Amino acid sequence: MSQSKDNQTFDPFDPTGMLKQMRDSNMESWSKIMTDFVNTEAYAESTGAMLDAWLTTSGPFRKAMESALAQAMAQLNMPTRDDITRLAERLTNIEMRLDDLDARLSEPSKSDNTQPTN
């Protein structure tokens, strides 16, 4: 026998029902409060200021980490990101030259149309 239960009615055979209702209303209240809070101009300004401060302070740390990583990669004889990028650029350049050469070789030239006579 199934009955449709309304969330607002009290069921004495469901001991956690009241706790579920309290949780749901609490979550709904917090959701509305936080939505209103993050949509304010003050929140946007403070978040922007914190991000700016974080990016400013993390810059030197990031550079130090990149330098230490580059030194470690050099000691392990492994390529760095810059090495891989330079290699990719060179390979792309070689590929473009090969394509140009292939295009020139596949063009019928004017001298091919004339047969030498003996």
pLDDT digit string, tens, across residues 10-65 = 777 887 888 888 899 999 999 999 999 999 999 999 999 999 999 999 999 999 99
More confident residue, 102 or 10: 102
Residue 114 lies in a domain: no
Tell which residue, 24, 20, 22, 41, has the closest CA to residue 32.
24
Question: Which strand (E) or helix (H) includes residue 108?
Answer: none
Tell me the pTM: 0.41
Is 55 inside a domain boundary? yes
Return the pLDDT at 114. Answer: 55
Residue 24, domain member (yes or no): yes
- C-alpha distance from residue 68 to each of 1, 61, 65, 83 (Å): 70, 11, 5, 16
Written as one letter, the residue type at 78 is M
77 in the Ramachandran plot: left (φ > 0), alpha (ψ -120 to 50) or beta?
left
Residue 72: domain span: 16-106
Q: How confident is the model at residue 108 (pLDDT cuts 50, 70, 90)?
A: confident
Question: For position 111, what pLDDT does the model report?
Answer: 55
What domain count does the chain have? 1
